[in-house]
Amino acid sequence: MSEARVFLLPDLGEGLTEAELVSWHVSVGDTISVDQPIAEVETAKSTVEVPSPYAGIVAELHGQPGETLDVGKPLISVTPVSTGEPAAAPEPAEPVVEPVETELGESTDSAADAHPEAEAYREEEKAGSGNVLIGYGTPGGHGVAKRTRARKSSVAVAEPSEAPSAETKELDDLSLLRTRVPGKLGAVISPLVRRMAREHGVDLGDLPGSGEGGLIMRKDVEAAISAPSVEPVETKPQPSVEPVETQGLDPRTGLAISSRTPVKGVRKAVAANMTRSRSEIPEATVWVDVDATALVELRKELKAASSEVPGLLPFIARFVTAGLKKYPELNTRIETASDGSQEIVSFDGINLGIAAQTDRGLVVPSVRAAEKLTARELDAEIRRLTDVARQGKATPTELGSGTFTLNNYGVFGVDGSAAIINHPEVAILGVGRIIDKPWVVNGELAVRKVTELTLTFDHRVCDGGTAAGFLRFVADAIENPNSLLADI
Q: Pairing mode, if any, of strands 404-407 and 18-24?
A: unpaired
Alpha-carbon distance 94 to 92, whole Å? Answer: 6
Confirm whether 459 is a catalytic residue: yes
Pick from 98, 117, 120: which is nearest to 109 by CA? 98
Backbone phi, psi, residue 104, to 5°: -105, 10
Backbone phi, psi, residue 280, to 5°: -100, -30
Helices (H), 20-115: 94-97, 109-114
Q: Pairing mode, if any, of strands 352-354 and 404-407?
A: parallel
CA dihedral 155, 158, 159, 162 (to 10 degrees): 160
Q: Are 478 and 312 in contact (CB under 8 A)?
A: no
User: Which amino acid would we find at residue 201?
Assistant: G
Residue 86, preceding peptide bond in cis (omega within 30° of 0): no
Helix crossing, 312-326 with 375-390: angle to 10°? 110
Strand-pair partners of 431: 453
Q: Pairing mode, if any, of strands 427-431 and 356-358?
A: unpaired
Return left, alpha or beta for 137; rule: phi > 0 is left, psi -120 to 50 is alpha, else beta: left
Q: Are 136 and 129 in contact (CB under 8 A)?
A: no
Q: Are 25 and 38 in contact (CB under 8 A)?
A: yes
3-state secondary structure of 205: helix
Cβ neighbourhood burial of 413 (10 Å; 0-12, 13-18, 19+): exposed
Cβ neighbourhood burial of 463 (10 Å; 0-12, 13-18, 19+): exposed
Alpha-carbon distance 69 to 196, whole Å? Answer: 16
Pick from 423, 353, 368, 359: which is nearest to 392 by CA? 359
Instruction: List active site positions.
Output: 459
